[in-house]
Amino acid sequence: MKRILVTGGAGFIGSHLCERLLDQGHEVLCIDNFYTGARRNVARLMDNANFELMRHDVTFPLFVEVDEIYNLACPASPIHYQFDPVQTTKTSVHGAINMLGLAKRRRAKIFQASTSEVYGDPTEHPQTEEYWGNVNPIGFRSCYDEGKRCAETLFFDYHRQHKLRIKVARIFNTYGPRMHPNDGRVVSNFVVQALKGEPITLYGDGQQTRSFCFVDDLVEGFLRLMDTGDEVTGPINLGNPGEFTIKQLAETVIRLTGSKSTLEFRPLPQDDPRQRQPDISKAKAILDWAPTIQLEEGVQRTIAYFDDLLKSGEA
């Protein structure tokens, strides 16, 4: 049994990770400032004696005794990370410094939830880990993209300078139950709009592409990466290579919900990448990992979650 810290553990991905770690018999300390996370995401874990929830902001130092750290704290949806961009950069950069400092003191292994956004609006397709990216340093997405890039830099400098054991995952668009219903990300937006019979908001012409990974697949990738030998640092892409246009996603959601919603075209946000698809050869070779849940099944499970949430009056 290990003592494992999950920062941002009350968020969408973090709550699924806490659940899996508890299932494996570990002790989990979940910290979160509840900026985009919610107690309800971890409510079912509160009765587990191995689970502890603490309100804490990662931009402040933390002194706890743990063996492993998963650093997920950071708002992930453009609406939320652009709401207070200075805090977003602080969360990524100061948060990384604080968690790396903790890992250094404890000699703990540390995992970083990085992002495909480090590739920016990519000029290479699909994106391999060797691609250095095409990122606007002064745009609306920069607080998130550059914050995450700087966090990666810090992880690798702590690794080289202090011999820290690091694991950096570059996560591509992930979806599933417990996404924030109002966080503006495309899957939650479309599913909630379809269930309410409201127009589906397509930004631009809807021909931009994304590759959507179901959260259970992603968490499996996290666990496998954390379990690799010390020589494996990443960065490793984790995502589902199945590439769809946003319009195709809208049509899938309408079909699976049986909704009467219509499509409504809206302006494309600034710096919105045209195309995004992970090359997961490394994850396949090193982790023997590949996603197993296809879009239809994942979207169906997500619809079931939001349907319950809407019926319970919580969204």
Residues acting as catalytic residues: 144
**Nearest of 90, 91, 145 to residue 114 by alpha carbon:** 145
Helix (H, G, I), strand (E, B) or coil at 167: strand
Shorter beta-carbon distance to ligand UDP: residue 263 or 285? 263
Binding status of residue 83 toward ligand NAD by CB under 6 A: no
Shorter beta-carbon distance to ligand UDP: residue 81 or 158? 81
Shorter beta-carbon distance to ligand NAD: residue 83 or 163? 83
List CB contacts of 128: < 8 A, sequence separation 6 or more: 237, 279, 281, 282
In the list 34, 123, 285, 290, the residue contacting ligand NAD (rule: CB under 6 A) is 34
Residues that bind ligand UDP (CB under 6 A): 78, 173, 184-186, 189, 201-203, 208, 210, 246, 268-269, 272
Supply the minimum distance, in Å, between the C-beta of residue 63 and ligand NAD. Answer: 15
Supply the minimum distance, in Å, between the C-beta of residue 259 and ligand NAD. Answer: 23
In the list 32, 68, 146, 217, the residue contacting ligand NAD (rule: CB under 6 A) is 32
Q: Which does 98 bind (CB under 5 to 8 A by kind): ligand UDP, ligand NAD, none?
A: none
Determine contact, residues 13/75, Cβ cutoff 8 Å.
no
- Distance from C-alpha of 256 to C-alpha of 242, rounded to nearest angstrom: 18
206 CB neighbour count, 10 Å cutoff: 19
Shorter beta-carbon distance to ligand NAD: residue 74 or 250? 74
Determine contact, residues 239/278, Cβ cutoff 8 Å.
yes
In the list 5, 21, 74, 219, the residue contacting ligand NAD (rule: CB under 6 A) is 74
List CB contacts of 53: < 8 A, sequence separation 6 or more: 9, 10, 30, 31, 32, 39, 42, 45, 46
Binding status of residue 37 toward ligand NAD by CB under 6 A: yes
**Nearest of 280, 286, 273 to residue 128 by alpha carbon:** 280
Site for ligand NAD in 175-194 (CB under 6 A): 180
Supply the minimum distance, in Å, between the C-beta of residue 58 and ligand UDP. Answer: 21
Identity of the amino acid at 133? G
Q: Which does 14 bind (CB under 5 to 8 A by kind): ligand NAD, ligand UDP, none?
A: ligand NAD
Binding status of residue 4 toward ligand NAD by CB under 6 A: no
**Buried b / exposed e across 105-123, counting CB within 10 Å, b at 16+?**
ebebbbbbbbbbbbbbbbe
Binding mask 98-127 for ligand NAD (x = CB under 6 A): ---------------x-x------------
Supply the minimum distance, in Å, between the C-beta of residue 12 and ligand UDP. Answer: 12
- Distance from C-alpha of 206 to C-alpha of 217, rounded to nearest angstrom: 26
Please give the full DSSP string across 264-290, using - where no structure is assigned: EEEPPPTT--S---B--HHHHHHH---
In the list 36, 82, 211, 257, the residue contacting ligand NAD (rule: CB under 6 A) is 36
Q: Which does 58 bind (CB under 5 to 8 A by kind): ligand UDP, ligand NAD, none?
A: ligand NAD
- Distance from C-alpha of 8 to C-alpha of 257, rounded to nearest angstrom: 31
**Cis bond upstream, residue 126 (ω within 30):** yes
- Binding footprint of ligand NAD on the chain (CB under 6 A): 7-8, 10-14, 32-37, 57-59, 72-76, 91, 95, 113, 115, 171, 173-174, 180
